[in-house]
Amino acid sequence: MTSERARQLFDAALDDELDPETKREFHQALAADPMLRDDFHALRDVVHGASALQQAVPSVDLLGQVQEKLRARSGGRFYRDRFSEKQGRSPLLLWIAGGSLLLVLVAAVWLSFEAGLVTR
Amino acid sequence: MIISTISPFDSATAVLGKVFGARSLRLTRAGRSMLDAADLELVERLKRREEAAFNAFVLRYQDRVFRIVLRMLGDRAEAEDLAQEVFISIFKAIDSFRGDSQLSTWVYRVATNHCRNRLKYLSRRRRQLTHDFDEENAADSQAQGAPDRPGTPDRLLEARQTEALLEEGLAKLDDEQRELIVLREVEHLSYEEIMAITGLPEGTVKSRLHRARTALREHLERRERGRVR
């Protein structure tokens, strides 16, 4: 394989698209031509470096602001409940839980009165 | 009563659904085969405008969307704003998703379209791309303190310098080349996905990517020569 042909295959080599025979010839061409090898390695380093850029971006938390914007733009139709949406818990469940707890408390107080434990 | 439940957030099909009592337009049969069961269920819940489903969706994709937008725009504040707009657009337009691609591919497509529009707007306003990460990385390296092993600071410093040069080179690419580098090299998408996102044929994707890689390499070489002097 000529150096010129090998140079044309740089991208295919980086994308691992060469068949085994062509890959073998490609690496032989690199071994025989130091300048070609240096150029390929320089390109490979750029691609690997760009690949590492993915890790360089810190995580971001957009959910709250997206919810605020949706609430504002929908006139309150969506994300009306500001407190329970962070991890996706349904507000209805919270209302049911709160209401049940309140009923239990009221029942406990009423039963206490009935049993004479607490005087009016 | 029906009219009062209709809002600008409803698509035409959703409006018809409300009027005639039918659900919003379902995924096509081919669309269903493209999605796995989890994504299928998520899409159906998103189309019903379930807030819990949308929360999960944002949490799943926010890092990816933000990365793409940040690498395309080069400005953190702009990127945060635009990334939010991407999700709002998706919330409003989810009914148009027919499942003819993976959900992630569609999300990327919406994000890149937003980036292109924003870049056109910014270029009209003649904004320069800025880089926030050099300052952040410098602050991070100072905050980390002394290393445990000898040689580590040099490697870290070199890695960060290379990263800064790459970000600089990325900013100097034209918008189309930068988009391909971000999708292929940074996000590690396949050529099939990139073709689905950009609408470009394979030959065009590969030739532009080749020019982008070469331009990045030349930029790094120029800057390296400048540093050595």
| Residue carrying the six token digits 């029906």 | B2
Residue A116 is part of which domain span? 90-120
pTM of the predicted model as reported, rounded to 2 decimal places:
0.72
What pLDDT was estimated at residue A83? 41
| pLDDT over threshold 70, residue B60 | yes
B125 within domain boundaries: yes
ipTM of the complex: 0.71
Return the HEC string of B179-206. HHHHHHHHCCCCHHHHHHHHCCCHHHHH
The predicted pLDDT at position A21 comes to: 95
pLDDT value of position A5 = 95
Domain match, B50 and B121 both: yes
Give pLDDT tens digits for B213-224: 999 999 988 988
Structure confidence at residue B147 as a pLDDT band (50, 70, 90): very low
The CATH number of the domain holding residue B44 is 1.10.1740.10
CA–CA dist B116, B122 (Å, integer):
10
Give the residue on A whose Cα is nearest the Cα of B48: A78
Residue A119 is predicted with a pLDDT of: 59
The number of distinct structural domains making up chain A is: 2
Mean of per-residue pLDDT scores for chain A: 85
Average pLDDT over residues B186-190: 94
- State the average pLDDT over residues A115-119: 70
Q: What is the pLDDT of residues A51-94, one digit of tens each?
A: 888 887 888 999 999 999 999 998 888 887 654 444 444 556 67
User: Using an 8 Å Cβ cutoff, are A26 and A1 in contact?
Assistant: yes
User: Do B9 and A11 make contact, defined as CB atoms within 8 angstroms?
Assistant: no
Question: Which structural domain range is residue B67 located in?
Answer: 27-132
Q: Taking residues B25-48, what's their average pLDDT?
A: 78
Q: How far apart are CA A93 and CA B105, in angstroms?
A: 34
Q: How many domains does chain B have?
A: 2
pLDDT recorded at residue B99: 87
- The span from the CA of B171 to the CA of B181, in Å, is 11
Q: Quick one: chain B helix, strand, coil %, rounded to 5?
A: 75, 0, 25
Determine the residue among B11, B18, B57, B58 to mutate to test chain A binding: the one whose Cβ has the most chain A Cβ atoms within 10 Å: B58
As a whole number of angstroms, the distance between CA B126 and CA B171 comes to 14
* Domain match, B36 and B117 both: yes
> Per-residue confidence at B23, pLDDT binned at 50, 70, 90?
very low
Q: Which chain B residues are closer than 8 Å to A87 by Cβ?
A: 55
